[in-house]
Structure 1
Amino acid sequence: MARARRPSPQTTAVLHALAREPSTWRHGYALCRQLGIKPGSMYPILMRLADRGLLETTWDADADAAPGRPPRHLYRLTGTGLALAAELPEPAAAAARTARVLAPGRERLAGGHP
């Protein structure tokens, strides 16, 4: 039996970003810029979500694309991905719940360093 793991904060952020406009196809690069996640982290997240059936993917068939530009993947949530995003807390709310006060004016994340 596979153990269900809670998605990382980055994965949660990607799911929520896609859930805001569930019918819109999005480029990975646009998600990188929107969320401040580096491509080396973003694309493995997108591949894992697609492999798990949470994202559908297609190739950008834009006829007006710049000459010489390679085709790009587009992503959007499946119904299952949208349901998962709805179950997960917003990333900022999740971070606020994990923060704890050590002393007046000093906070740290649980398990982190000041």
Structure 2
Amino acid sequence: MRITISVAKVLAALLAEPAAQRYGLDLMRLTGLPSGTLYPVLHRLTAAGWLVADWEPIDPAEAGRPARRYYRLTAVGVTEARQALADLRAAIPDGRPSWGGTEPTGAPAW
């Protein structure tokens, strides 16, 4: 699995409470990712076996809203996500992002 910034954000949000079920809007709020970025990441993680996805068992007419699809890390997903984020942290010297010696305009100097 290729760990992009978007994937890392989703994994970090899910690892905050590994047993919790999260739905799309909840994850969008936690990660700051738009739906067009979030849902492909969720699909990739589900296809890789890191997530399970289940539909909320409600009657949409009775609830007055569509059923939500909930995502939760699998046991394998928890292990792999923790390792992937640890590897990512280890690749960043002293925990700071590398800007190649120059700070982008408006970025704080570390």
Which band: TM-score by shorter chain?
0.7 to 0.9
Which residue of structure 1 aligns with residue 22 of structure 2?
26
The aligned runs of 1:92-111 (5 Å cut-off) are 94=92, 96-102=96-102, 107-108=103-104
Unaligned runs of 5+ in 1: 109-114
Return the structure number with greater helix share.
2
Which residue of structure 1 aligns with residue 82 of structure 2?
86
**TM-score, structure 2 length as denominator?**
0.75
Identity %: 33
TM-fit CA distance, 1:6: 3.1
RMSD: 2.5
SS in 1 for 2:12: helix
The 4+ residue runs of structure 1 with deviation greater than 6 A are none
Residue 63 of structure 2 aligns with an amino acid whose one-letter code is: A
- Equivalences, count: 98
TM-fit CA distance, 1:19: 1.0
Residue 5 of structure 2 aligns with an amino acid whose one-letter code is: P
TM-fit CA distance, 1:62: 4.5
**TM-score, structure 1 length as denominator?**
0.73
Following the alignment from structure 1 to structure 2, what is the Cα–Cα distance between the partners of residues 63 and 21?
27
TM-fit CA distance, 1:96: 2.5
Residue 7 of structure 2 aligns with an amino acid whose one-letter code is: T
TM-fit CA distance, 1:28: 1.1
SS in 2 for 1:83: helix
SS in 2 for 1:98: coil
Unaligned runs of 5+ in 2: 105-110
